[in-house]
Amino acid sequence: MDTKWKKFSRSLAVRVILNGLMIGCILIEMMLCLKIYDTEKKIDKTYTYKHADDFYGNTALQTDIIDAWEELFEFVIASNCQAKDSANAKEQERKLENAIGKFQYQLTMKDGNGKDKTISNCVNTSHDLNTFPIYNLYKGYLNGDTYIKDWTNYYVDSYTEKYEKDKGYAYMDEDFTNFTWLDINSIINGLCQENQAYSQYVAENIVENIQVYKDTIKECLYYFYYDDSNSNDKTITNNILKKLYSSMDKSFISTFKNRIADEYLEDKEYLTYDKTTGLVYSDDTECYYYMSQDNSIKCYDELTPKTRSRLEKEMDEQDKKQEPLTKEEKNTLIETISKAIYIGDNGLDSDAQILIPIAAVLGTPEEYTMYIGVDDALYQATQAVYMDQYSVTKEKADIIEKQERTYIFTLLGVLVFLGLVVLALLYVCGRKEGTEEIQYLAIDAWYTEIQVIFIILGIIAGIACMAMVADAFSYNPLLFSKENVLIVLMALALTAIILIEFLCSIVRKIKGGILFRQSILGRMLSVGQEKLYYGKTSKRIMFFYLVVGGAWLFFEYVGMCLSVYDSEHWLLIFMQLILVFLLASTAIFLHRYLHQWDQIRNGVKRIKAGEINYQIPTNDSKKLLNLFAKDINSLSEGLENAVDEMLKSEKLKTELISNVSHDIKTPLTSIITYVDLIKKEDVQPDKVKEYVEVLDQKSQRLKTLTDDLFEAAKATSGVMKMEATQIDLGSLVNQAIGEFSEKLEKSDLNVRNNIESDSFYVMADGKLTWRIMENLLGNVSKYALTGSRVYIDATDTGNMISLTIKNISNTELNISSEELMERFTRGDQSRNTEGSGLGLNIAQSLAALQGGEFHVEIDGDLFKAMLELPKAKTDII
């Protein structure tokens, strides 16, 4: 079972099928998306508003109600702000009548007992508001929260956010927090009546006593003063401001600065307000700005002391001057406040900041209630038309929506199936029938991080792409043709397939246990391991630099981040100081280190050059290089001892050879001389003469033998001194032949010397080389076949010069060349003739002593002696 399952799950067919399924699923998903897009497009949005029983389709009625509401609002304000019989109020009333026409309205106010008291209702008095309770009026339209909310959706930036069902009215809240109706009558009436004292009181009340209002009124005044192009006489506003507010006022300063910034393109950051002169100074352009009488901003390039004192005096006077507002100024103030109240309605380009608190001046919410009523008949008549249209389109939309839902469910189902397929794919990937080893594909060679980044980027790109499409679609569905959508979807499908393949690759790597090894980090660490962790000292230094450098970089980064807010942050400066310190200490460290290093290098060089008792200067510190230098010193001490030892033993050896030689030679001298003396005597009988002859011969031979023996001993023991110079091999051979000419002629040997002088130069000791030649030519003259030819040649073998002497032996050479080279061996096996049998051996030792080689070859009767000597570097003497 298990093996069967294994065989099945690892078969190629399963993998191919799963991959096919995966791709198929994704394509199906995309096709479904396209379908959903299609159906979505078909639904007519115009008729899809929420519920059938509201009046959303009935836009005409809706607009009328909104208009009426606005007019009512304005009327209330106008009728309260101005004298009832003023032209403006009349105008407002007329407008209201026009707008409200088909509706009814009611404005109620709570009295002291908490009872609603109608303060105004339809101008058309035929409508008795009391007989039109609000719920009746709004029956069918004002259907709870929905109405208010949706209405605000349509009336952009509307007044209201809240609708209190039980109270039946809406009021400003949240953003328009304090837009309320408190004391509107008293304040506004006071302001608007021609009662100066009261106006003054209100103005002061607003300006000074009511903290909340103060800033608002002020800002409103400034706003009008600076920005309202309609303001015909700014001088008055300026005077009001000067009278009411100190020149130190924050709002004034900030408004002033804003204006400068706008008009002169200054950066507000560089502007500073001087309270003594009332000037604004710019650090950037080095100008002094001031506000002239005509309300324009001007600037001095330079501030003379005279001007300064004048300005200071003015400012001082202005602050002291607490003149009451003139009539004209009061009017303007009231006008301004009134205007502020209208701002929202007039759609002036202002921000709520000014508007809202101005509204707050007007009182608290609960006191006033404003109603708008719609006639049932009117509603029925208008609504019926829209409802008909609506129901038809809604039916269509319902069918399409149902279809869309089906698509969506299918899409989800396929998505689940796709998930299962992907899981199965992850399970089987990397496996192959008949082997436990993970099978890798080319894609697996990619580093893990890159794959992960690809996956993340792919997902982000997919989501972003879809979000963008959805967003764009909601703005303008026409922008996206079916073809466009198809292309986007195909791209998404391709991305999804690639991502799944990447996922499979990562899973394969996990299965094979190479996820980390095949990552950039893993590679870096495995490289680092070899390079970083190989010495205690290097580890320590690396650790130091990692910690210090890391900490430094961290703080430097923090400092840089902070310096964004503060252009010269102390941390950054501090870190720079630390950097300087670090660099300096590194330099000092390096200097010391390198100095010591140089000392060691110099010392080692001197020791190498033979000055073995040289001591590198050291101290007592435990520093690395110091210890190293000490080690080298002790090493050179050891070396010195060894060399001394060697010299001593060599001296002993030399002395030994010399002494033994002396001790042998002394008795030999006696023997030879006395034999000679005997020879000179006329000894009888003749037999004795023969004996003496033998003694003479043998003593001479003993002499030769001793000489050669010591020569050989010296050559092999290394006692012999060698002085290599550049010598001409050709000349040397000629000289040697010259020395031997007599002996060679005696043996009737024809020497063919093929070495020309000045053609081969060797680095050798002339005397030692002569000794070799002497032995070789001696052998030739002794053992070569009489009347034969002797050939001497030389060849260049690269680093060596090879000299060859060939001759024909006069007796059969029945021993090997190796035996011939041994001491006391002679080719003829007879020891009767002169010679010690050491010649070739000595030649070999001497050749080795000069860094060369010597060997002989025997080919039948052909005797070949070969001498190799190091070639001289240049051929020019």
Partner 1 sequence: MYRILVCEDEKSIADALEIYLTNEGYEVLRAENGIEALETIKKEELHLILMDIMMPKMDGIKATMRIREEKNIPIIILSAKGEDYDKVLGLNVGADDYVTKPFNPLELLARVKSQLRRYTNLGGIAEKTTDNMVRTGGLEIDLSTHEVFVDGEQKKLTPVEFGILSFLAQNAGRVYSIHQIYEAVWNEPSVNTENTVSVHIRRIREKIEINAKEPKYVKVVWGVGYKVEKI
Q: Which residues bind partner 1 (CB under 8 A)?
A: 658, 661-662, 665-666, 668-674, 676-677, 703, 707, 725, 727-732, 734-735, 737-739, 741-742, 753, 757, 762, 764, 766-767, 769-770
| 3-state SS class at 109 | strand
Q: How far is the CB of 750 from partner 1 (least distance, A)?
A: 12
Q: How far is the CB of 687 from partner 1 (least distance, A)?
A: 24
Closer by beta carbon to partner 1, 78 or else 729: 729
Closer by beta carbon to partner 1, 84 or else 651: 651
Contact criterion met (CB below 8 Å) for 777 and 736: yes
CA distance 226 to 261: 13
CA distance 448 to 522: 9
What dihedral do alpha carbons 395, 400, 405, 411 form, nearest 10°?
A: 180
Q: How far is the CB of 723 from partner 1 (least distance, A)?
A: 11
CA distance 375 to 397: 32
801 residue type, one letter = I
Closer by beta carbon to partner 1, 429 or else 801: 801
Q: Which residues of 132-168 are buried (b: 16+ CB within 10 A; e: fewer)?
A: bebeebbeebbbeeebbebbbeebeebbbeebeeeee
CA distance 72 to 181: 14
Closer by beta carbon to partner 1, 246 or else 750: 750
Q: How far is the CB of 737 from partner 1 (least distance, A)?
A: 6
Q: How far is the CB of 535 from partner 1 (least distance, A)?
A: 52
Closer by beta carbon to partner 1, 761 or else 863: 761
Pairing between β-strand 368-374 and β-strand 725-728 as defined by DSSP bridges: unpaired
Mark out the alpha helices in 106-173 (DSSP H runs).
Answer: 134-137, 145-154
Q: How far is the CB of 824 from partner 1 (least distance, A)?
A: 21
Q: How far is the CB of 863 from partner 1 (least distance, A)?
A: 22
Closer by beta carbon to partner 1, 167 or else 767: 767
Closer by beta carbon to partner 1, 619 or else 666: 666
Pairing between β-strand 750-753 and β-strand 789-796 as defined by DSSP bridges: parallel
User: Measured in Å, how far apart are the chain's first and last C-alpha atoms?
Assistant: 93
Q: How far is the CB of 784 from partner 1 (least distance, A)?
A: 17
Q: How far is the CB of 700 from partner 1 (least distance, A)?
A: 9
| 3-state SS class at 804 | strand
Contacts of 828 (CB under 8 A, 6+ apart): 783, 811
Q: How far is the CB of 801 from partner 1 (least distance, A)?
A: 12
CA distance 734 to 594: 58
Contact criterion met (CB below 8 Å) for 334 and 217: no
Nearest to 657 by CA among 707, 702, 722, 703: 707
Q: Both tokens of residue 535? A: 């010495």
Closer by beta carbon to partner 1, 738 or else 798: 738
CA distance 142 to 135: 8
Closer by beta carbon to partner 1, 139 or else 701: 701
Q: Both tokens of residue 422? A: 């992907």
Closer by beta carbon to partner 1, 309 or else 725: 725
Residue 836's Cβ-count burial label (10 Å; 0-12, 13-18, 19+) is buried
Q: How far is the CB of 752 from partner 1 (least distance, A)?
A: 11
Contact criterion met (CB below 8 Å) for 95 and 74: yes
Closer by beta carbon to partner 1, 82 or else 850: 850
**Number of Cβ atoms within 10 Å of the Cβ of 337:** 25
